[in-house]
Amino acid sequence: MPSRWTDLDRPPLSARALAAGLTGDGALWRDVRVVERTGSTNDDVAAAAREGVPEGLVLVAESQVSGHGRLGRSWVSPPRAGLTFSALLRPGDAVPPSRWSWLPLLAGLALHRAVVRLAAVDAWLKWPNDLLLGADRRKAAGLLLRADAGAAVVGIGLNVSTSPAELPTPAATSLAVEGADCTDRDPLLRGVLRQLGEDYLSWRSVGGDPDASGLRAGYTAVCDTVGRQVRVALPRGGELAGLAVGVDDDGGLLVRDAAGERSVTAGDVVSVR
């Protein structure tokens, strides 16, 4: 009997079918491309941004050979086992630069919303935007935002049919491992892009205001980090330990310790139970 993880269970994506459902009059997404293999979709879309490509490009790779993760890590996934894609956004003059820092949280929340709706799994966000699933709250998706040439490149990696043996670490999981209702990448990708487009346009229409758009409230409601005792390894060294109490006006994590409240804008968060 063939394994449930053979390639037969991993059909290719069709750019034409995706574009037919996502692009068109008034849609944010204008150009949806699927490539068999690349180094990093974030690198490719950043290069397109530097060439002046307008907002609305989506590049999906069936296989990435040097995918980037946060904090200098890598993102690894077997071909077609997951979704690895990047989208080009240009908030431009509509959103002051100080509010662009909400974009990774916005994209994480859109990913969360789409996955919960389509795959019917219990999911949370670990600040800033890791998607956690299941009772053990393991990581199924990560997101990397890169600002380049006046554009924002939103890169998302989501483990879909990845088997336990294929997962990079014991702290990782996939939709299939968690028994999700949907492990078909086509509707998942459409769902994520539709939700991202909708949430982005509504946030942009209120100048990126995290409260008028409902972004801060929506994010906080599903954030597994807020309300927990945390330790944050700061990118420039050192550590901050305290209670995560909320998200500040820049999308930073507010951590309260004996000295007061401090905002963390980057770093690796570990929950202390």
Give the footprint of ligand BTN on this chain (CB under 6 A).
40-42, 67-70, 73, 75, 84-86, 130, 142-144, 155-157
> How far apart are CB 205 and ligand BTN at their closest, in Å?
26
Q: Which is nearer to ligand BTN, 58 or 230 (CB)?
A: 58
- Which tokens go with 180? 């999700």
Least distance to ligand BTN from the beta carbon of 60, Å? Answer: 9
Nearest distance, CB of residue 119 and ligand BTN, angstroms: 18
Check the CA dihedral 18-91-99-241 and report its sign: positive
Nearest to 129 by CA among 118, 119, 117, 115: 115
Give the residue from 227, 250, 230 showing the smallest Cα distance to 240.
230
What's the rounded Cα separation, in Å, for the pair 261 and 253? 10
Q: 56 vs 67, which CB is nearer to ligand BTN?
A: 67
For residue 32, give both structure tokens.
Answer: 């949806």
Q: Which is nearer to ligand BTN, 41 or 162 (CB)?
A: 41
With respect to ligand BTN, which residue has the nearer C-beta, 89 or 242? Answer: 89
Which residue lies nearer to ligand BTN by CB, 111 or 213?
A: 111
Token pair, residue 13, equals 């994506």
Query: Shortest approach of ligand BTN to residue 20 CB, angstroms?
Result: 23
Q: Of the two residues 99 and 139, which places its CB atom closer to ligand BTN in the complex?
A: 139
Q: Hey, what are 205's tokens?
A: 């229409």
CB closer to ligand BTN out of 61 and 213: 61
Cα–Cα distances (Å) from 97 to 12, 102, 192, in that order, read 38, 10, 25
The residue with its CB nearest to ligand BTN is 142
What's the min distance (Å) between Cβ of 225 and ligand BTN?
14
Q: What are the start-end ranges of the E strands in the chain?
A: 31-35, 57-61, 67-68, 74-75, 82-89, 123-126, 130-133, 138-148, 151-159, 229-233, 239-247, 253-257, 260-264, 268-272
Question: Which H or E run contains 119?
Answer: helix 103-119
- At its nearest, how many Å lie between ligand BTN and the CB of residue 150? 20
Give me the least distance between CB of 183 and ligand BTN, in Å please. 18
Token pair recorded at residue 28 = 């944010």
